Structure 1
Amino acid sequence: MDNPSKIIEGGVEYSLGKFDGKSVVYDFPKILDYLNVKGKLLFGEKFRIYNEDRRILMQLCSYFIKDKKNCDAYEIDINKGILLSGPVGCGKTSLMKLLRYIVPFQRPYEMIPCRNVAFGFNHLGFKTIEDYGNTKFYCFDDLGVEPAGRFYGKDLNVMGEVLLSRYDLYLNTKHKIKTHATTNLNAQELEDRYGNRVRSRMRELFNLIAFDERAGDKRK
């Protein structure tokens, strides 16, 4: 049987904890070591795990490895998706791209820029909404700053409609269909952008994990 506590990158084996044949007891420092290595492979040698992000990483890792005890302590529901919020350049997108790799046996999610969804609607119309209202797992990147949707003169808040579709899916499937997102906006800005109905659905769809609003821009 494959050992989910071990991951091989570039011929080197990394251990994320101990596997007893049934479950993995994860070791957080070992996960961080692996994320540092994988991050450099994905994003280049300048990538690194920042000390000030350890609290966020602990929450995210606890969610992805389904550590119920830690998730309960952080008030994270493992059936919901993640809404990762924080200022521009704090590393939200990189972390959501990266964290998929610590759980290679779990169903992966696709990273989809929200602007691509809006452009898709402007080109193809409502088929775009239907396409994302399917049973795939997605992480919608940069929620709230996508351009307005317009198709044959009809304006539409495209991502708002996609989130409503994803919410219906989440409610009506036995094995919860996961939706994740990243955003630079705070709760009030999201409500202003999408309205109260979508915002209330988002509370049921997502766990909110937020960087400190003073988090620096790591791209500088």
Structure 2
Amino acid sequence: MIKIQPHIIQEGSVQFQLGEQKGNQIIYDFQKMLIYLEAKGKLLFGKNFKIYTEDEAILYKLCIYFIRDFETCRKLKINPNKGILLSGPVGCGKTSLMQLLPFIVPHQNQHSLIPARNITFSFNKSGFKIIEDYGNNGFYCFDDLGVETIGRHFGKDCNVMGEILLSRYDLFLKRKIRTHTTTNLNAQELESRYGIRVRSRMRELFNLIAFDKNSLDKRK
């Protein structure tokens, strides 16, 4: 029988050990996770990718969440049963991190990262089936929530992502399927964009993890 060791990850000829196994528990090492995330980031996004020291507090919360460290989540007031709403200014690295972090837990179900604007484009072409497709099943991270336009199909306008979030809330209540999202908008802007009902559901759907509003634009 092959022993599963999710904390030991092979990338080409290099092996990364993210922690130590003690009995049936893995004790992860945050610094080792950072080393792996930077190496994997360079493979995915190019040699200029780096983990910034000023982002380590955010990364710590995200890593704790993804490795399902329930005790530390409780101390940090993170609900591991909810999804993540990762907010911050343009270029701070939200999308890259939500693409990267699942790689530290290869044994878990992986979310698909889908730009919110692409979902609206699909709605414009295919109609309300798209809301059903993304609202009623699957494990998704909706990227750049709030930059998408209002959907329009056969002359009928629809706040597509707002409707999908309402459906995802029902999915969360019935089947405990989590949803993640990234956004440049703050709480007031989200409420203005999607309405108070959706904003209320978002509080129950997500843990808010936010970059500082003065975070660097890493794309410059």
**Is TM-score (shorter-chain normalized) higher than 0.5?**
yes
Written as runs of structure 1 = structure 2, the 5 A alignment for 1:15-164 is 15-164=17-166
Aligned equivalents of 1:135, 1:190: Cα separation in 2? 23
Aligned equivalents of 2:12, 2:136: Cα separation in 1? 34
What is the CA distance between 1:5 and its match in structure 2?
1.2
Given residue 131 of structure 1, which amino acid in structure 2 is its aligned partner? Answer: D
Correspondence for 1:209 = 209
Correspondence for 2:182 = 182
Aligned equivalents of 2:71, 2:177: Cα separation in 1? 23
What is the CA distance between 1:74 and its match in structure 2?
1.5
Tell me, which stretches of 5 or more residues in structure 1 are unaligned? none
Cα pair 1:135 1:169 within 8 Å, conserved: yes
Cα pair 1:4 1:19 within 8 Å, conserved: no
Cα distance per residue 1:56-103 (max 9 Å; x no partner): 000000000011222112110000000000000000000000001000
Tell me, which stretches of 5 or more residues in structure 2 are unaligned? none
What is the CA distance between 1:134 and its match in structure 2?
3.1
Aligned equivalents of 1:193, 1:134: Cα separation in 2? 22
Correspondence for 2:197 = 197
What is the CA distance between 1:21 and its match in structure 2?
4.2
Cα distance per residue 1:8-52 (max 9 Å; x no partner): 001211000001241210000000000010000000000000000
The number of residues matched between the two structures is: 218
Moved more, 61-70 or 51-60: 61-70
Correspondence for 1:5 = 7
User: So what's the TM-score if we normalise by structure 2?
Assistant: 0.98
What is the CA distance between 1:148 and its match in structure 2?
1.2
Q: Percent identity?
A: 65
Given residue 65 of structure 1, which amino acid in structure 2 is its aligned partner? Answer: I
Secondary structure at the aligned position of 1:76 is classed as coil
Aligned equivalents of 1:93, 1:46: Cα separation in 2? 16
Given residue 203 of structure 1, which amino acid in structure 2 is its aligned partner? Answer: R
Aligned equivalents of 2:212, 2:72: Cα separation in 1? 20
Query: What is the root-mean-square deviation in Å for CA atoms of aligned residues?
Result: 0.7
